[in-house]
Structure 1
Amino acid sequence: MKMYHPRTRRQGRRRVAVLAAAVTAAALALTGCTPAAEPESGNVTLDIGGAAGQMQENWNPYGFSTPVIMAAGFVFEPLVQYNALNADETYPWLAKEYKWSDDYTSLTFTLREGVNWSDGKPFTANDVVFTFNLLKNNPGMNFRQVQFDSVEALSDSEVRLNFASNSFSQQLPIFSTYIVPEHVWANQADPMAFTNPRPGGHRSLHCGVLRPVEHPVRPERGLLAGG
């Protein structure tokens, strides 16, 4: 059993506090996030970048080594959100309801109505069907390993995924899948190489110019240099 002197414990707390502040500063710097200037017209600008290396203007949520890997959730959205610490705690998102069949061989989503993409085009079941088929037909983009037999639109607001056997284990990968607009992606000959230069999700958020920010590191401390 370890015993701690009160002074040692206080010093330990101070070290933890300093370290926590340093880690927070490092995390903000590494993500490239910078606070936005006070908006003049009600718009807010959030600068987000990659963790390291040369930044590229590539907003393909299913590409690799691109800034959007860290920022995808600010632009694209899934059908359902869930608590990473308790996967049974789910939140309706683009889908307002979901239901498994009794044998877990089909999963049906009822989508929210009145949702538009940021370019004003309506969000429909066709976008969901297109997204899942996009991943199925391009295994290099399917990094969440979503597996299913078929997907179909039952109506403009209902989608069903079909499986060959009990596939409840696919629930979280499916929930985590970012839906992309069919009218933007359908004509891309090589969707994995598509840089998606004018990304548009369901939010009133548009991506601007990428602006790399460098932060020097003190080798002797391994902490970000201030100023």
Structure 2
Amino acid sequence: MFRKSVHPRALAGAAAITALALTASACGSSPKPSSTNAGGAKSSTLTIESAPVSPFTDNFNPFVQTSIANQVNATSLLYEPLLQWNITKANSYYPWLADSFTWNSTGTAITIKLHAGVKWSDGQPLTAKDVAFTFNLMKATSALNANGLPIVSATAADDTTATITFSSSQYTNLYAITGQTFIVPEHIWTSQTDPAHWTDPSPVGSGPFTLDKFSAQGFTLKANANYWQGAPKVSEISFPSYVSNTTANQALDNGQIDWAGNYVTNIDQTYVAKDPKNNHYYFPATNTVVLILNVTKAPFNDVKVRQAVSAAVNRTELSQVGETNYEPPATSSSGLLLPEFSDQVPSDLANDLPAASDANKVTSIMTAAGYAKDGSGIWAKNNKEVSFAIEDPSSYTDYYTCATLISQELKPLGFKVSVNGVTPDKWTADLNAGSFDAAIHWGGGGPSPYQQYDNWLDYGTSAAIGQTANGDYGRYNNPAVQSALKAWAGTNDPNEITKQLGIVAHAMSTDVPDVVLMYGAGWNEYSTKHFTGWPTKDNSYIDPRPNNPWLEYTVLHLTPVS
């Protein structure tokens, strides 16, 4: 089994926006969604597989991350966000349920101007009262507040104007507020006494599709003929159940899936070559892969060891062998995702990472720090060898291969490194609890560099060893970084954002709390045999992965082949 594309709501979500009052329509443009007011064109069913899950359990609650709708990323076809974000480009979004928004002067309140005339799938109007209800529901039930938004209140001034107030500045959480929160109908949800455990078996949403049939082996959605943007041209969508990546990839290779989000070994031979005209893939860089280091204990409580390990890694080999060239080697020690944030990398940190192991630099760093090789050829200090284990799921074949490669690369350079293959559940539990030495892991993603650094370095999301962390799994605690992240979150001044970003980026570079490795791919395979209009490298109008919340945006741009 290989890793899946990262579910965006599983990571800390936020976005830095650098203007006080913004109109959503000014921030992006794309082809108009493929729709028709006369009803969807009947064609073959669009079959999507974004995560192997079996069996399916009947739960379409948009707030519950373990609901089947969220596990297979179907939620955005039923419920919708205020804005649609294209996180493959910095701060790029499109108006959706909201036409525009404005912040107050401190970033503690946002006023949303809704698109008029939107209706729920049962025909009732969607108004600002529904928006206010959704955020008040999240405030009242913390289990529904996946991003931990500090909501104070939400009110509706009229049918199209809602204001949400927070206890602190939320400029950097614009993505979470407008892009990762699905609006629900008050007239349906107000009667639910336990909304966190309600399964929502017959969802009523504003989205372009409604639930048609459900079973443990899969479910289908049918086009909403009354959708506010006009019924989609795709008339039916199928989400079949697959036991594993292996069975899902077999179905993909056999032409049974139109759109998938899998790691596929030797994809040009196993998938594209079977139908070169129609079988395609587009793997944009969507995150930065790092080697997380537990800085609370030896050997990584010594910054010099961390720097030396970074110099010892052969990033080119990891990219070519571990990731079969799907994930390019990182070039900046800032960790910023490239090319998306290339214009925000401090000039002295551009192209400063070696592509291959630098043995001379390793020796220079370690000897200057007082280490010497012992009789076994291992770096040691005060009779204690530099020894650590890299822990990753053995079923995540690419990560496990990369961990093995790192151990092989570092051993000749004087480090004693082992690899622990574990289950995904144990890996997650150990990272949360801080019970590990090092681990390869993807980084947080979003429309701003803030998401990356907040996920890696914000000690406020971390926890003491043995307690559950939601971020900063290596327990890195730097007061200067904490101060910079706080200042960054509290401003929308571009110059101030650049200043604070520089502080954090240089800390990432010099302190090396995580070793920057590669730019992680967003897995995305698609067929043009039955549908056209897919996002491509030349027309990346939205993140192409079949994930919430942007999956809906792609579907609305698809046209069945006659």
User: What's the TM-score, normalizing by structure 2?
Assistant: 0.31
RMSD across aligned positions (CA)? 3.1
Q: Is the 8 A contact 1:80 1:93 kept in 2?
A: yes
Distance verdict in 2 for CA 1:182–1:214, change over 3 Å: closer
In structure 2, give the amino acid aligned to 1:67: I
Q: Does residue 93 of the first structure (1) align with residue 119 of the second (2)?
A: no
> Do 1:216 and 1:224's aligned partners in 2 also have CA atoms closer than 8 Å?
no
Q: What is the aligned partner in structure 2 of residue 177 from structure 1?
A: 181
Output the CA distance in 1 between the equivalents of 2:111 and 2:86.
21
Check the 8 A contact 2:54/2:242 in 1, yes or no: no
Using structure 1 for the length normalisation, give the TM-score. Answer: 0.72
Aligned residue identity for 2:129? N
Q: How many residues align?
A: 190
Partner residue, 1:10: none
Shift of 1:89: 1.2
Q: What is residue 224 of structure 1 aligned with on the other side?
A: 250
Structure 1 residue 62 displacement after superposition: 1.0
Taking the aligned partners of 2:245 and 2:61, their CA distance within structure 1 comes to: 34
CA, structure 1 residues 187+168, in 2 after alignment: closer, same or farther (shift >3 Å)? same
Secondary structure of 2:213's match?
A: coil
Structure-1 separation of matches of 2:199 and 2:171: 33
Instruction: Give the drift of 1:140.
Output: 1.2
Q: Which amino acid aligns with 2:142?
A: P
Taking structure 1 as reference, are residues 224 and 162 closer, same or farther at Cα in structure 2, changes over 3 Å only? Answer: same
CA drift of 1:47 comes to 5.8
Q: Is the 8 A contact 1:103 1:166 kept in 2?
A: yes
Counterparts of 1:166 and 1:95, CA distance in 2: 21
* 1:85 aligned counterpart, secondary structure: coil
Q: CA deviation at 1:144?
A: 2.1
| Change in CA separation of 1:73 and 1:157 when aligned onto 2, cut-off 3 Å | same
Shift of 1:66: 1.9
Distance 1:79 1:186 in 2: 20
Q: CA deviation at 1:48?
A: 5.8
SS in 2 for 1:129: helix
Distance 1:153 1:196 in 2: 25
The residue number in structure 2 matching 1:32 is none
Name the CA distance, whole Å, in 2 between partners of 1:218 and 1:188. Answer: 36
- Give SS of 2:212's match: coil
Paired residues for 1:79-118 under 5 Å:
79-118=82-121
Q: Is the 8 A contact 1:217 1:224 kept in 2?
A: no
Aligned to 1:193: 197
Percent identity between matched residues is: 32
TM-fit CA distance, 1:224: 3.0
| Counterpart-to-counterpart distance in 1, 2:62 and 2:104 | 30
User: Equivalents in 2 of 1:215, 1:106: separation in Å?
Assistant: 44
CA gap 1:182/1:46 in 2 versus in 1, 3 angstroms: farther
Quote the Cα distance in structure 1 between the aligned partners of 2:59 and 2:242.
22
Q: Rate the CA distance shift 1:180–1:47 in 2: closer, same or farther, 3 A.
A: farther
Q: Alpha carbons of 1:217 and 1:203: their partners in 2 closer, same or farther (altered >3 Å)?
A: closer
Distance 1:214 1:163 in 2: 40
Does the C-alpha gap of structure 1 residues 218 and 76 become closer, same or farther in structure 2, counting only changes over 3 Å?
closer
Indicate the SS of the match to 2:57.
coil
- The equivalent residue for 1:68 is 69
Q: 2: distance between equivalents of 1:80 and 1:73?
A: 12
Q: Show structure 1 runs of 4+ deviating over 6 A.
A: 216-219
Over 3 Å counting, the alpha-carbon distance change for 1:216 and 1:187 in structure 2 is: closer
Aligned to 2:149: 146
Residues of 1 paired with 2:117 and 2:123: CA distance? 11
- Give CA deviations for 1:105-140 in whole Å, capped at 9, x if unaligned: 211100011110010000001100111111111111
Distance 1:115 1:186 in 2: 20
Q: Map residues 123-162 of structure 1 onto 2, 5 A cutoff.
A: 123-162=126-165
CA contact (8 A) 1:81 1:91 kept: yes
- Which letter does structure 2 place at the counterpart of 1:160? T
Q: 1:215 to 1:204 in 2, by over 3 A?
A: closer
Question: Which structure would you say has the larger Rg?
Answer: 2
Per the alignment, do residues 189 and 87 of structure 1 end up closer, same or farther by CA in structure 2, a change over 3 Å counting?
Answer: farther
CA distance in 2, matches of 1:86, 1:223: 29
| Match among 161, 164, 167 for residue 164 of structure 1 | 167
Structure 1 position 91, deviation (Å): 0.9
Measured in 2, the distance between the counterparts of 1:218 and 1:165 equals 42
Deviation at 1:146, TM superposition (A): 2.1
- Quote the residue 1:120 is aligned against: 123
Q: Structure 2: which amino acid aligns with 1:114?
A: G
The 2-side partners of 1:125 and 1:216 are apart by 41
Secondary structure, aligned partner of 1:152: strand
In the alignment, the residues of structure 2 paired with residue 53 and residue 189 of structure 1 have an alpha-carbon distance, to the nearest angstrom, of 29
Which moved further from structure 2: 96-105 or 49-58?
49-58
SS at match of 1:169: coil
* Structure 1: stretches of 5+ with no match in the other structure: 1-22, 28-40
Alignment-derived partner of residue 58 in structure 1? 59
Please identify, of 70-79 and 165-174, the stretch whose mean Cα deviation from structure 2 is larger.
165-174
